[in-house]
Amino acid sequence: MDSLTAYHLARELEARWRGGVIRAGHLDRERRRVVIAAGQGLPVEIDLSVPDVIAREVADAPAGGALAGWRVDSVTAPEDDRRLLIALAREGKFRGSEHKRAVLEVSMLPNARAAAAHESGRTIASVGGALPPRSAPRPTLSDRLIASASEKGDASVLMQGRWVSPIVARCLIGDPVRAAERYREICALGAARPSRCGNAIVPFPLCADAEPCDSLIASVTEPLDAQATQPPDERRTRAIERMRRELTRAEDAPRLRLLADALLSLGDVPAPTRVTLDDGSEADVERNDGESAVAVAERLYDTVRSMERARARLPARIDATARAPVVAPSRASAGAREQSASPRESRPFRTYRSSGGLEIWVGRGAASNDTLTFHESSPRDVWLHARDAAGAHVVLRWSKDDAPPPRDLEEAAILAAWHSKSRGAGVVPVDWTRRKYVRKARGGAPGLVLVHRSETIFVTPDERVERRLRDP
């Protein structure tokens, strides 16, 4: 989500919402999302819980909320800034009284994803932390500066200019002959139309086979709805089974709350491995090394709240899923399933072996990334991903306490860079951490994760390394 993408998203939302009265307007603090239903079409959810903010359609949204009853006057994005400004208005309570006005501001900055609605200096509702100050406009780069920086591959110079994000800088560096021309097209805005390159949505055509993207919202919503590859009846059956399993696990909420209460009573001391509950029974404590009893208790309270929400909503969702009509898969997806795959391609992920003999696993797509990270790897394995770029999850099999060998780590990072949208860049930053510090983004699409305690290694994508490390 760079400033160009935010600009196009604002235009699309204005066309959808302008003049419409909000029938559902929720700022959900727990799930860190904004949900608005106004005008025509389905409600739109702006998910602030994931690294790249997602705006997508949702099937429905409960009527009401803090913003219900307000009319959307406009949706804009300040130039060269990653935020939305949604101007709201409503009539006064009494005839002849002045219209009330409010602004819903949504910040989509990586380290400041937040939203707040203000009316006459009063906060109506908010999500996340405090809104960051608005960015000062950056200068427009000269043709000479662009040509020089592009030839040198100096992204830092380019990123000082108006509208230039990391992905824009990589595009300009990758085509130094046309860099100045392309930059002028970007600044014209009208020519910088969003496009789809593979699975990535980019602010303008980056690849030779780029497809125009008329709707950013649809481009995000449709892939989410098309992830499953099983026949429709099987998909529904598995979805119901999954929800029933979740509902069964939620029955443990009362006992987990007792465990959290017992740990909280111990205070800020190292968490024990076993405690006695108020009902006289004993319970094991799952904790990380050095984690305090209070920290474990807080984590358990979060789990309990999630379970309680599941107990409240899942019965209705199970019933609705069971009664929903069956939709046949598209011809394209059916044809893909009919094609025979080689044994190597049928694996859920690509396999490599480092120079030191360590296994390296590389995801094949969003669903494969999800499976690899959360179902196939160990919490102590090393997890890698190219920074600020769509790409594969990479797992380096390493269970020791110390850091992996530098050469093996570098080779895994090269694979992460190669299997990403930054493949054509000269130098790619790759973040790495232990898999246990990677969490699935709540409500996010497959493959979307939240990463804690990461380090960064800079590598150059190299096809020769990729071929050499392939595990036959």
Q: Which of 56-60, 307-311, 392-396, 440-444 has the highest average model confidence (pLDDT)?
A: 392-396
Q: Domain range holding 180?
A: 143-225
Q: Which two tokens stand for residue 215?
A: 């709707």
Q: Which residue has the higher pLDDT, 425 or 420?
A: 420
Give the CA distances from residue 272 to residues 199, 265, 462, in Å, rounded to whole numbers and listed in that order. Answer: 46, 12, 48
pLDDT exceeds cutoff 80 at 249: no
Q: Please say if the pLDDT value at position 229 is more than 50.
A: no
Report percent pLDDT > 70 for the chain: 80
Residues 30 and 67 in one domain: yes
**pLDDT average, residue stretch 454-458:** 86
224 has pLDDT over 50: no
429 plus 353 within the same structural domain: yes
Report pLDDT for 36: 93
* 444 closest CA partner among 110, 27, 54, 26: 54
Q: How much is the average pLDDT of 204-222?
A: 64
Judge whether 78 lies within some domain. Answer: yes
What lies within 8 Å, CB to CB, of 15 at 6+ separation is none
φ, ψ of residue 131 in degrees (nearest 5): -70, 135
Q: What is the mean pLDDT of the chain?
A: 79
For residues 356 and 448, state if they share a domain.
yes
Predicted confidence at residue 334, as pLDDT, reads 37
Question: What's the pLDDT at 408?
Answer: 93
pLDDT at 328: 42
392 lies in the same domain as 457: yes
Write a three-state SS string for the chain: CCHHHHHHHHHHHHHHHCCCEEEEEEEECCCCEEEEEECCCCCEEEECCCCCCEEEECCCCCCECCCCCCEEEEEECCCCCCEEEEEEEECCCCCCCCCEEEEEEEEEECCEEEEEEEECCEEEEEECCCCCCCCCCCCCCCHHHHHHHHHHCCHHHHCCCCCCCHHHHHHHHHCCCCHHHHHHHHHCCCCCCCEEECCEEECCCCCCCCEECCCHHHHHHHHHHCCCCCCHHHHHHHHHHHHHHHHHHHCCHHHHHHHHHHHHHHCCCECCCEEECCCCCEEECCCCCCCEHHHHHHHHHHHHHHHHHHHHHHHHHHHHHHHCCCCCCCHHHHHHHHCCCCCCCCCCEEEEECCCCCEEEEECCHHHHHHHHHHHCCCCCEEEEECCCCECCEEECCCCCCCCCHHHHHHHHHHHHHCECCCCCCCEEEEEEEHHHEEECCCCCCCCEEECCCEEEEECCCHHHHHHHECC
- Residue 471 pLDDT greater than 80, yes or no: no
Number of domains in the chain: 4
Q: Is residue 334 part of a domain?
A: no
Q: Do 434 and 384 fall into the same domain?
A: yes
Where is the domain boundary, 287, 322, 357?
322
User: Of 322, 337, 357, at which residue does a domain stop?
Assistant: 322
Q: Is the pLDDT of residue 82 over 60?
A: yes
pLDDT in the model for residue 333: 36
What pLDDT score does 165 carry?
Answer: 81
Q: Kindly state whether residues 275 and 171 are assigned to the same domain.
A: no
Q: What pLDDT, in 10s, does the model give residues 340-352? A: 334 444 456 889 9
Instruction: Check whether residue 219 and residue 273 sit in a common domain.
Output: no
Q: How confident is the model at residue 215 (pLDDT cuts 50, 70, 90)?
A: confident
Q: Could you tell me if residue 64 is inside a domain?
A: yes
Model confidence over 2-58: pLDDT tens digits?
888 888 888 888 888 888 899 899 998 888 889 999 876 788 999 887 766 778 888
First to last CA, the chain: 37
Residue, of 192 and 411, whose pLDDT is higher: 411
pLDDT in tens, 95-132: 555 578 999 999 988 778 899 999 887 888 898 888 88
Q: Taking residues 352-369, what's their average pLDDT? A: 88
Which of the listed residues 225, 240, 273 is the one where a domain comes to its end? 225
Same domain for 269 and 312, yes or no, is yes
The answer as to whether 119 is a domain residue is yes
423 lies in some domain: yes
Confidence of residue 61 (pLDDT cuts 50, 70, 90): confident
Q: Give pLDDT, residue 202.
A: 67
Residues 238 and 178 in one domain: no
**414-423: pLDDT as tens digits:** 999 999 988 8
Reported as a single tens digit per residue, the pLDDT across 146-202 is: 888 888 888 888 888 888 887 788 777 877 788 888 888 778 775 556 776 655 666
Over range 265-286, report the average pLDDT.
86
**Top mean-pLDDT range of 185-189, 284-288, 368-372:** 368-372
Residue 181 lies in a domain: yes
Residue 113 lies in a domain: yes
Residues 189 and 203: beta-carbon distance below 8 Å: no
Which residue would you say has higher pLDDT here, 56 or 441? 56
Is 332 part of a structural domain of the chain? no
- pLDDT of res. 51: 65
pTM to 2 decimal places: 0.49
Could you tell me if 238 and 221 lie in one domain?
no
pLDDT digits (tens, 9 = 90+) for 291-338: 788 888 887 887 788 788 778 877 877 776 676 544 444 333 333 333
Whether the pLDDT of residue 267 is over 80: the answer is yes
Q: Is 437 exposed, middle or buried (0-12, 13-18, 19+ CB in 10 A)?
A: middle
Please check whether residues 359 and 436 belong to one and the same domain.
yes
Let me know whether 219 and 290 are in one domain: no
